[in-house]
Amino acid sequence: MKVYEDIPVGEALPPNVTKRQWKILKRHGYTYSDDSPNYLKAIEMLIAVKTKEMHESGFPYIQVFAVQDNKLYDLRIHDVIIFRENMIGVDMLPDNIIRFMNKTEKRWYTERFVPTPTLIVDRSGIIL
């Protein structure tokens, strides 16, 4: 965990997030949890953050977090996010931060989350 001078002691900077992006996320009431993202049962939204690392295709990688109870859970870096038959709301925040909100009655959830290059939200609600 990295700790920076302008962030209070005991508060970690999430992976692949700039200080500026983290300040924006904190202003919206989010905190970072370094707990495992396995077995989250009521994911309210996904937050995608553009990283500085570039994919060989020329597009940036995206750091994805699951949000449950205003805590960010690390779902790692991905090339793309695919929503299979899911109605979602999209909200843009400054500094290349995107929030994807579930607009269906089915809750998003994880089981044994294994990071892959493509993050998929299946029609059943499971995040693969």
CA distance 23 to 20: 5
pTM for this predicted structure: 0.88
- Give per-residue pLDDT as tens, 78-111: 999 999 988 999 999 999 999 999 988 888 999 9
H helix runs in the chain, sequence order: 19-27
CA-to-CA dists, residue 22 to 19, 36, 115, angstroms: 5, 20, 22
What are the extents of the domains in the chain?
A: 19-121
Q: How many CA atoms lie within 13 A of 19 on its CB side?
A: 7
